[in-house]
Amino acid sequence: MSKINEKIKIWQKEKPGVPWFSFEYFPPKTDQGVQNLYERFDRMAPLDPMWIDVTWGAGGTTADKTLEICIHALKYHGLNVMMHLTCTNMPKEKLKEALDICKENGICNILALRGDPPGHLEAGAASQGFKQCEGGFAYATDLVKYIRQEFGDYFCIAVAGYPEGHLECTCFDDDMKHLKEKVDAGADLIVTQLFYDNPSFLGYVERCKAMGITIPILPGIMPIQSYAGFNKMTTLCQTKVPPGMLERLDAVKEDAEKVKDVGVQIAIEQCKDLMQNGTPGLHFYTLNLESSVMRIVEGLGLTPDSRDLPWKQSADQKRKVEDVRPIFWANRPGSYVRRTSTWNDFPNGRFGEFGSLRCAYGDFGFVSFAKDPADKAAETRRKMWGECPTTPSDVCKVFASFIKNDVQKLPWCTDAPAKETNFIAKQLIRLNELGLMTINSQPRVNAALSTDPLVGWGPAGGFVYQKAYLEFFCTKEMLDKIKEGIGKTSTCSYMAVNKKGRKMGNVNSSCANAVTWGVFPSAEIRQPTVVDFNSFMAWKDEAFSLWGEWSSIYAEGTESRKLIESVSDTYYLVNIVDDNFVSGDLLNNVIGWASASLESMSGVARKPSKDPTCVPEYSRVACHH
């Protein structure tokens, strides 16, 4: 993990004039909410924020959960983390304990705050205000001094700034004086309170410069998520609302979606103005919501142009050399990192040379809802996956709807299909219609530019390659027909296993098959994604257990629950790799084999598809380039 102040210096040297951005989250109240937040991390991490930070509840009320989420974000989601820490109700011993835990887990960024008393917003005018804890600190300046005294330069320390003045400060000049004291005590950067009036922020920055404050100042941007929420927040914080903004919102206040749309546009306009006036970065208060913030980042043109690898690397220092992973966890990267978190070494260069650690996967790193799902969570999942499915065809329709983006997620896929899936979406939908339940795939790619916006990765000037890959659940009867088809080609390898562990396949269990690789200037060939037997067997247990997340949303003894449990108990998990990355046609071949299987079972010959869009994936990729 990097210290943010050092990361900023490197960024400004390598990308002068290019703004960065960061996201703030708060600890959810429920375990289900925390699990949803972890999934949100996976969806937002590809935007490559400079860091994320997690708030510390008023009075330290969320201390344990804040620490847990910060550690989780760092170790399992590849995110650089900053943890909030407040003085409220926190004696020195508790502060020291929290900072020690951060250091032990590699967290080296702290946002030091005085904090607010519990219930300060609800109490309103009746609040007794902040009270210093016995053995604690009265001001953020004292906390900054304490951190520097106890930990030296280990931590990058951020502090809060108030462009429109702190609510409790009677004089703006005094407020600026307090800021200067925090900076002089050892702060490395400033993150401001939310605001909508840019002249107030820009004037604030100029005053800081005049006082000799030279550290980065990040504006706090809060996207407008609802009309009522906007009015409440600006009233509580006494935030200035620029002329015209309220009128734009008043015009659409009866339509929640239009309010969000206007809010996104207002934020884009605000951020563009800030960037044009030299603001080095942007800090977004997400309110644990992703859609608006992601739209704003995309609207500003700040999404990353390229990826270092096809998967998001961890910010955990001990994994910095890791550059190879099995493909099976492509849609559940957090689980893979959790299951390998006890490893002392990580594959670098070649997975096949990694030795016995390939077998040393930990227990499943996911929250199972099979035991006692919350009613609300179960209701949400039934809306996605079906109120009362009664046939395997009903289940297959859910998988097809996921490919169409009509279903938000599946137990095996916590995010929407990757953009490259568009190349093979027609075939995947057809496979699900034929009875294969697809959970992972990639099209074949032959020498695409490393800067390609959909399949590219690595430094510019390189070329990337992929073998076609397909992973799915299917019946034994369907698998037999697919095996027969594979037997007629010399380019396809497969592995299959059921819940009880019965295995089939035509691969050498001691070999790893590279399914993604790249060739770059003045560098060795890199192969960041592989398929190997031992990892597949570890993934198999997790993949079958995830059916429990689906079955558990139906009551015991119902036909729907029996159906899902039957699929889990009787179907096979299968993966197929086509080594012919030049002219292979894996998905259409599998469609043919699956169709033949249905024909043999029904005794009725099916007419071949005349859909002109159902073409080999390589043709679709070639058209793109």
Mind listing the pLDDT tens digit for each residue in 258-308? 999 999 999 999 999 999 999 999 999 999 999 999 999 999 999 887 788
For the chain, what percent of residues have pLDDT higher than 70? 88
Q: What is the DSSP letter of 609?
A: P
pLDDT of residue 168: 81
What sign has the CA pseudo-torsion 179, 183, 187, 192? positive
**Residue 375, pLDDT above cutoff 70:** yes
Give 414 or 581, the one with higher predicted confidence.
581
CA atoms of 285 and 292, how far apart (whole Å): 11
What is the b/e burial string over 185-219, where b = at least 16 CB atoms within 10 angstroms of the residue's CB? Answer: bbbbbbbbbbbbbbebbbebbeebeeeebeebbbb
CA dihedral 361, 367, 372, 374 (to 10 degrees): -170
Of the segments 353-367, 546-560, 594-608, which one has the largest average pLDDT value?
546-560
Q: Which of 590, 583, 586, 588 is nearest to 622 (CA)?
A: 583
pLDDT for 99-128, tens place per residue?
A: 999 999 999 999 999 876 655 444 444 444
Lowest mean pLDDT segment, chosen from 277-281, 394-398, 506-510? 506-510
Tell me if residue 451 falls in helix, strand or coil: coil
Give the phi and the psi of residue 518 in degrees, each rounded to 5. Answer: -145, 150
Q: What is the DSSP letter of 417?
A: P
CA atoms of 148 and 139, how far apart (whole Å): 15
pLDDT of residue 605: 46
What value, to the nearest 5°, has the Cα angle with vertex 332 and ends 328 and 335?
A: 100
Tell me if residue 576 falls in helix, strand or coil: strand
**Residue 620, pLDDT above cutoff 80:** no
Lowest mean pLDDT segment, chosen from 143-147, 358-362, 471-475, 541-545? 358-362
Q: Which of 89, 80, 33 is nearest to 56 (CA)?
A: 89
CA atoms of 582 and 467, how far apart (whole Å): 9
Supply 240's token pair.
Answer: 């200035």
Show the 3-state SS of 177-229.
HHHHHHHHCCCCEEEEEECCCHHHHHHHHHHHHHCCCCCCEEEEECCCCCHHH
Give 90 or 419, the one with higher predicted confidence.
419
Lowest mean pLDDT segment, chosen from 184-193, 363-372, 594-603? 363-372
pLDDT of residue 374: 61
Provide the 10 A C-beta neighbour count for residue 563: 21
Supply 430's token pair.
Answer: 């057809």
- Going from the C-alpha of 163 to that of each of 116, 166, 205, 553, 623, the distances in angstroms are 18, 8, 8, 48, 51
Catalytic sites, residue numbers = 24
Strands 20-25 and 281-285: parallel
pLDDT for 159-202, tens place per residue?
A: 999 999 888 878 889 999 999 999 999 999 999 999 999 999 99
Provide the 10 A C-beta neighbour count for residue 477: 12
- 360 sits in which H/E element: none
Q: Are 405 and 446 in contact, with CB atoms under 8 Å apart?
A: no
Tell me if residue 169 falls in helix, strand or coil: coil
Long-range Cβ pairs for the range 479-482 (8 Å, 24+)? 479/504, 479/572, 479/574, 480/597, 481/593, 481/594, 481/596, 481/597, 481/600, 482/574, 482/576, 482/590, 482/593, 482/594, 482/597
pLDDT for 207-230, tens place per residue?
A: 999 999 999 999 999 999 999 999
Tell me the pLDDT of the chain averaged across its residues. Answer: 87
- Half-sphere exposure (CA, 13 Å, Cβ side) for 106? 19
User: What is the largest distance, in Å, between two alpha-carbon atoms of the chain?
Assistant: 86
CA atoms of 437 and 427, how far apart (whole Å): 12
Provide the 10 A C-beta neighbour count for residue 393: 11
pLDDT of residue 480: 95
Q: Are 71 and 43 in contact, with CB atoms under 8 Å apart?
A: no
Lowest mean pLDDT segment, chosen from 235-239, 284-288, 388-392? 235-239
Residue ranges of domains in the chain, CATH in brackets: 4-299 (3.20.20.220), 363-407+419-624 (no CATH)
Model confidence band, residue 392 (pLDDT cutoffs 50, 70, 90): very high
Q: Are 390 and 559 in contact, with CB atoms under 8 Å apart?
A: yes
Q: Which amino acid is at 522?
A: S
Lowest mean pLDDT segment, chosen from 86-90, 106-110, 250-254, 460-464? 86-90
**Residue 625, pLDDT above cutoff 70:** no
Q: Are 576 and 586 in contact, with CB atoms under 8 Å apart?
A: yes
**Residue 365, pLDDT above cutoff 70:** no
Supply 344's token pair.
Answer: 């002392």
Tell me if residue 575 falls in helix, strand or coil: strand
Mean pLDDT value of segment 30-54: 89
